[in-house]
Homo-oligomer: A and B are copies of this chain.
Amino acid sequence: MNEARGLRADAQRNYEQLLAVARVVIEEQGTQASLRDIARRAGVGLGTLYRHFPTRDALLEALLRQGFDRLAASAESLLASAAPKAALLAWVDELSRGTTVYHGLPASLLATLHDEASPLHLSCTAMRAAGERLLRRAQDAGDVRPDLDGVDLFELVAAVGWAAEQSPRSAERRERLLALITDGLAS
C-alpha cells in the first residue's frame, strides 16, 4: 500500500481510484479492457491514467503483483509440509485457479515470463523458482518425470488456462485438462 508514497494528495487519490476501478473493469472485460473506459469510470482524464500507468502492462502489474507474491509464499509453505507430490499438485492447482481471475491472464503470465523487461518479470520468476523447488522435491521422491522443469510446468498450466477460457464450460474444462496433464507428468 506504499506504492503511491510521496504523491500529492490528489494524485494519490487518483492512483487508488484508478486501481480500484481497473480491477472491476478488467474483471468484467478481461485484460484487453478499454483504458478510456477505465479512466472514464474512475472520473479521471485519460492522461492521468497514462501518467500513473504508462503502459497497459504497468496497470496489470499493479493488479497482479500481490497474487504472484502470494503464490510464491504458498509454495514456500507447502515445501515444509505434506507429501512431495501432494504439495506440488496443490500448488499447481492454486496456480491454475489463479489464472482464471481475469480473462486473458494466461497470456499475461507467459508474456511476463518471457519478457525480461516487464515490470512483473522479477515477481514472476521468483514465483516460478518457488514452484520449481516444489517440483524438484517431487522429482527427487520419484513422483514426477525428472526432465520436467519450471518453464515446462508454467507453460502447460498457462496453456490449460487459456484453452479453458476458449470454452463455454471454462471451469469444467480447466479441471479436466489440468488432470490430464498432471496425470501424464507422473513417473
Contacts and interface: CB of A to CB of B under 8 A. Distances in A.
A107 interface: yes
A168 to B, nearest CB: 6
Interface string A96-116: 000000000001001100100
| Chain A interface, >50% SS class | helix
Contacts of A185: 180, 184
A156 B176 CA distance: 11
Given A114-B168, A168-B114, A180 B156 contact: yes
Given A159-B159, A162-B162, 20 more contacts: A107-B166, A110-B163, A110-B166, A110-B167, A111-B166, A114-B166, A114-B167, A148-B180, A152-B176, A152-B177, A155-B163, A155-B166, A155-B167, A155-B173, A155-B177, A156-B163, A156-B177, A156-B180, A159-B177, A181-B181
